[in-house]
Amino acid sequence: MGDRFVVVPVDGGGGVADKEEQPASVVDPTTRLTGGELEEEDPVLEPQDPNAAVPILEYNREPNKYGDGVPKENSPFINNTDNDKSNSYDGTNMALFEEEMDSNPMVSSLLNKLANYTNLTQGAQEHEEADDDESSKKKAVKSPQMGTFMGVYLPCIQNILGVILFLRLTWIVGTAGILESLAIVGLCCSCTMLTAISMSAIATNGVVPAGGSYYMISRSLGPEFGGAVGLCFYLGTTFAGSMYILGTIEILLTYIVPKAAIFVSEKKEDEVDALLNNMRVYGTCCLTLMSVVVFVGVKYVNKLALVFLACVFLSILSIYAGVIKTIFEPPDFPVCMLGNRTLQNHNFDKCLKTEVIDNVTAATQLWNLFCDGPELNATCNDYFKKNDVTSIQGIPGLTSGVISENMWSAYGPLGMLDENKNLSSIEGVNSTQDILMPYVVNDIATFFTLLVGIYFPSVTGIMAGSNRSGDLRDAQRSIPVGTILAIFTTSIIYFSSVVLFGACIEGVLLRDKFGDSVKGNLVIGTLSWPSPWVIVIGSFFSCCGAGLQSLTGAPRLLQAIARDGIVPFLQVFGHGKANGEPTWALLLTAGICEIGILIASLDAVAPILSMFFLMCYLFVNLACAVQTLLRTPNWRPRFKYYHWTLSFLGMSLCLALMFISSWYYAIVAMAIAGCIYKYIEYRGAEKEWGDGIRGLSLNAARFALIRLEDAAPHTKNWRPQLLVLLNLDSDQAVKHPRLLSFTSQLKAGKGLTIVGNVLEGTFLTKETEAKRAEQNIKAAMSAERTKGFCHVVVSSNLRDGVSHLIQSAGLGGMKHNTVLMAWPGTWKQSNDPQSWRNFTETVRETTFAHQALLVAKNVDSFPTNQDRLGEGTIDVWWVVHDGGMLMLLPFLLRQHKVWRKCKMRIFTVAQMDDNSIQMKKDLQTFLYHLRLNAEVEVVEMHDNDISAFTYEKTLVMEQRSQMLKQMQLSKTEREREAQLIHDRNTASHASMNDKSEAGPERVHMTWTKEKLFTERGRNRECNSNVAVRDLFNMKPNQTNVRRMHTAIKLNEVVVNKSQGAHLVLLNMPGPPKNRGGDENYMEFLEVLLEGLNRVLLVRGGGREVITIYS
């Protein structure tokens, strides 16, 4: 690239003046390079000086002296170095786009920013780094480096495997049986797998910022659904914290230190209440301690996460090791049975009624539990006397065949005894005392749907990977792979655990929820190897860690929702400590968590959080299905193994599981989500996130519009679809806001409302004003509660702009059928005749377009939406039939609270030949069929002689009209005269240049300045005298006289009857066919409306709008 073309100046003789290399900037801008030659661009721009040096092109093979190897032009036509703020591009290749570089940067500079986009989480790690480094400079945040295994797979495993596996799965298998337990696990795992597939599609459809599931749902389904589901997910996470804390306390008080219980029951029937009270006290203390830990330092929670995860894995490995060991050497955990009933083995050591000590038969501790005393002749429980005590092995082993006995369910009511049906039993006489005996019994009523609700929390936690999206090196690859592998792994663990528990453990021990029959050992612990303590300690730390993780994650989720600003009353929870820790959100989370602690029962809390998680998963599936079906252009997931049918199946499964688990909890959860949705819709900040619901709305609107366009609406469905023509002042503020108030009162939020305005000018120069006008109109619409659309048009003149609005406003079948505008009250004061010509042309165009027209006079005196009109009337003057608009409008107005108390009166006009009595009866019958309540009155107008006042008023009107025409004519003549002078002067200059002799005629046509003014004054004086003489000699036109007579007489009648009415509706006469009488038409209307306060002139659209038929 060392070869260069260098331009050198050449003298007029063709020799090279100077062969030193010149900068490329000396190239004339009128030349261009084509194939190494100098090509002429425009001969008009040739240099005028023939002696000027002409640049030629010289080929130079010297090495590159010009820097970067790209020639630069400094011509002001291409690149002005004075204004060059930054080297956004080099060379001449992109000169065509240089003026747009500020708004449209070069791709070469943009790609580096896009490729290096980092999406760091705003989670605990950065908060703690800021906390540690509070006094020094902020640390440079490293780019996320977590992979699939550490970033997604392990967190999901840790969140999925937990308290239910260790504390309730054996009980679920024993109660539901292996087959139904497999069905429960299959349902729940299928639900989470389908949800994970949908979530993977959403997560790989672009960069997912830190925020995880809430971000995905809100950006896919919109702020209303996002806020509702985000809060549900927050509540679910919070109640999950309660469940983990309750699990921690249950393990502590039941299996580690039972003697630490504060409340101890003296009677067996009080044991459940004592346990719940202990859970409440210790749970509150544990919650307080965990909240302090989270508040003081989340980094300790994160550092201990791997320790807690190791406990989970060690516990599961010990279970599988114990199962394998049962094949060769089953552990010794005998279960004492009385008849076929299972005994609680807390207060006796030997499973015997009596024993021989020193050849003497003595009562055992078990005897004392069922009898009045240690004497062998003491009174004992009847069932105890009739049945023998036997001891069976609690863990018979994998090869024992116990799996066949555990296949089927053993549901029962509260207090049902835990029995082995294979053992013989003789029923006692009095069974009422059995509840007081040390039997193992059901602490709750059991049935399939209850177990589904209790088990489902054990498969939640699939969002853990997506919640860490900001920490992942490649979130779009890691989230799908890690989440699906975690679900697959945990599903195998759950399925195998169900089968292995049923194959290794005796049924009565499986149904013993708290291990009372094996001296209070954890049932799953009896199966583990090398010691039950491995499971006990492992599950304890697992529950502790999960509780801390919930208390860490839930406040941040609430903080993210609060900072989005979609729920106004939550904004206080968006604040926190200086390092960003969500202090207020943590306090609220602890308060809600305490509610779950006070419930105290793990089995009662589990279905609650199941509802909230199922609600969240349902909407994840819905989001994927909606996006897939809509085929939005931005829907391009990298994860390809999804389909909308899978998403709908997952959504249906979530909904089914909600009602299977607990129908009343499902209704409550839906009600909470619905209330949040409506609140955000009503009060929340408006957000446009390009969500799928917006796309769904667009598709539904498109479908409805296509259906609407098939045919015009039936008369029964006709309602005024308004185009409101607003006027703005010089500051783009709305002149008549009461017109919008009247619109909302007439429409009550129903149908279509388009508020239009016309700005005079061109769009290129008026774009800013148009936007400001649109914002002001929208603000006025919001203030007046007018629901509709705003349409601002920029046109060369107002007349054309209004015409464009009338023709083109609306879309398809959703077009306006009625135009509402204010009466031009200043048309007389305006010197510009266009003010009233625009009005009359608008009337003509609405008539031609078959649209109704409403003109409000004195609109500023109309009531606001806050006013409540008292007893009064809405008077309708039905002079000519217009399709029923005059009947329909008062009915619609009276639906609004402003006009609700007003009564409707209908007046009609009878001529001399009409039967007014019959007219009144017919009108009453017609209103009866229309189902309208109104007073009816027929006003008779006799043919009186036309008064002198009418003649005089008509004459004044026509004189004024003639004067306006003369003024306009004078203006036109002046313009024509100036053009004539210009043309003659041009011709005179042309003749002088030609140096031709002027004949006598040309001399006669020459104008001088004095002659011009003299002639113009003479013409004006002559015309003026003629015009004045004509004005005083005018006689009024007879047609105008008759029209003026009608306007005066009708006005007298209307003022006499309706001057005190709240609103007067009146037929609007049409403009004359002859456009020369437009100014007279305005005068007729002014006379017709004189003396009336609130008037609505109504002109029908040429079709029936009200019907007597159903």
pLDDT tens, position by position, 412-465 = 998 888 888 888 888 877 777 777 788 898 888 999 999 999 999 999 888 887
Res 1004: pLDDT = 42
Contact 534, 521 (CB under 8 A): no
Verdict on whether the full-model pTM lies above 0.85: no
Q: What is the Cα gyration radius of the chain?
A: 46
- Of 29-33, 820-824, 932-936, 1036-1040, the one with minimum mean pLDDT is 29-33
Asked whether residue 925 carries a pLDDT value surpassing 90, the answer given is: no
The identity of residue 951, as a single letter, is Y
Asked whether residue 22 carries a pLDDT value surpassing 70, the answer given is: no
Q: What is the DSSP string of 33-53?
A: EETTEEEE--GGG--S-TTSP
Distance between CA atoms of residues 115 and 104, nearest Å: 18
37 phi/psi in degrees, rounded to 5: -110, 160
Res 596: pLDDT = 92
Asked whether residue 86 carries a pLDDT value surpassing 80, the answer given is: no
Distance between CA atoms of residues 726 and 822, nearest Å: 8
The identity of residue 759, as a single letter, is L
CA 106, distance to chain mean position in Å, is 34
- Read off the pLDDT of each residue in 307-319 and give the average, rounded to a whole number: 89
Taking residue 398's Cβ as centre, other Cβ atoms within 10 Å add up to 18
Classify residue 453 by burial, with Cβ atoms within 10 Å: 0-12, 13-18, 19+: buried
Res 921: pLDDT = 86
What lies within 8 Å, CB to CB, of 444 at 6+ separation is 414, 450, 603
Averaged pLDDT score across all residues of the chain: 78
- Read off the pLDDT of each residue in 371-378 and give the average, rounded to a whole number: 85
Contact 495, 455 (CB under 8 A): no
**Among residues of the chain, what percentage have pLDDT more than 70?**
73
Res 180: pLDDT = 95
pLDDT band at residue 811, thresholds of 50, 70 and 90? confident
Asked whether residue 23 carries a pLDDT value surpassing 90, the answer given is: no
Distance between CA atoms of residues 338 and 428, nearest Å: 12
pLDDT band at residue 135, thresholds of 50, 70 and 90? very low
Kindly report whether the peptide bond that precedes residue 530 is cis, defined as omega within 30 degrees of 0.
yes
Distance between CA atoms of residues 216 and 226, nearest Å: 8
Asked whether residue 675 carries a pLDDT value surpassing 50, the answer given is: yes
Contact 605, 236 (CB under 8 A): no
Q: Which of 754, 693, 686, 695 is nearest to 720 (CA)?
A: 754
The continuous run of DSSP H or E covering 334 comes out as strand 334-338
Taking residue 1059's Cβ as centre, other Cβ atoms within 10 Å add up to 12
Largest Cα–Cα separation, the chain:
170
Contact 869, 745 (CB under 8 A): no
Strongest mean pLDDT among 117-131, 346-360, 515-529? 515-529
Res 587: pLDDT = 92
The identity of residue 857, as a single letter, is K
Asked whether residue 223 carries a pLDDT value surpassing 90, the answer given is: no
Is pLDDT larger for residue 334 or for residue 976? 334
Residue 1071 vs residues 492, 845, 1074: alpha-carbon distances, Å: 84, 11, 8
User: For residue 34, what are the β-bridge partners?
Assistant: 37
The continuous run of DSSP H or E covering 297 comes out as none
CA 752, distance to chain mean position in Å, is 22
Is pLDDT larger for residue 20 or for residue 681? 681
Contact 567, 684 (CB under 8 A): yes
User: For residue 878, what are the β-bridge partners?
Assistant: 908
Res 808: pLDDT = 87
pLDDT band at residue 384, thresholds of 50, 70 and 90? confident
Distance between CA atoms of residues 149 and 219, nearest Å: 27
Contact 943, 913 (CB under 8 A): no
Q: What is the DSSP string of 528-559?
A: -SS-HHHHHHHHHHHHHHHHHHHHHHHHHHHH
According to DSSP, residue 1098 is labeled E
CA angle 740, 746, 750 (to 5 degrees): 100
Asked whether residue 42 carries a pLDDT value surpassing 80, the answer given is: no
H-assigned helices in 329-370: 365-370
Res 19: pLDDT = 40
Is pLDDT larger for residue 551 or for residue 1042? 551
Is pLDDT larger for residue 307 or for residue 130? 307
Distance between CA atoms of residues 635 and 656, nearest Å: 28
pLDDT band at residue 564, thresholds of 50, 70 and 90? confident
3-state secondary structure of 868: coil
What lies within 8 Å, CB to CB, of 39 at 6+ separation is 31, 32, 33
Strand 852-857 and strand 1095-1099: the pairing is: antiparallel
- Read off the pLDDT of each residue in 5-31 and give the average, rounded to a whole number: 43
883 phi/psi in degrees, rounded to 5: 95, 5
Crossing angle of helices 602-630 and 212-251, in 10° steps, is 160
Contact 756, 720 (CB under 8 A): no
Q: What are 577's two structure tokens?
A: 């400590």
Give pLDDT tens digits for 823-850.
887 777 766 566 778 888 888 898 888 8
* Tokens 């780019």 -> residue: 143
Res 631: pLDDT = 81
**Among residues of the chain, what percentage have pLDDT more than 90?**
23
Res 1110: pLDDT = 60
According to DSSP, residue 262 is labeled S
Is pLDDT larger for residue 754 or for residue 1001? 754
The identity of residue 800, as a single letter, is D
Asked whether residue 783 carries a pLDDT value surpassing 60, the answer given is: yes
Asked whether residue 488 carries a pLDDT value surpassing 90, the answer given is: yes
Contact 722, 743 (CB under 8 A): yes
Q: What are 260's two structure tokens?
A: 């630490």
- Of 635-649, 758-772, 1035-1049, the one with minimum mean pLDDT is 1035-1049
What lies within 8 Å, CB to CB, of 702 at 6+ separation is none
Is pLDDT larger for residue 112 or for residue 161? 161
What lies within 8 Å, CB to CB, of 999 at 6+ separation is none
Distance between CA atoms of residues 929 and 175, nearest Å: 69
* Tokens 């659309």 -> residue: 789
Res 261: pLDDT = 87
pLDDT band at residue 79, thresholds of 50, 70 and 90? very low
Q: Which of 443, 433, 421 is nearest to 384 (CA)?
A: 433
Asked whether residue 971 carries a pLDDT value surpassing 50, the answer given is: yes
Give me the count of residues in the chain: 1110
Residue 644 vs residues 195, 197, 647: alpha-carbon distances, Å: 12, 10, 5
- Of 89-103, 192-206, 1037-1051, the one with minimum mean pLDDT is 89-103
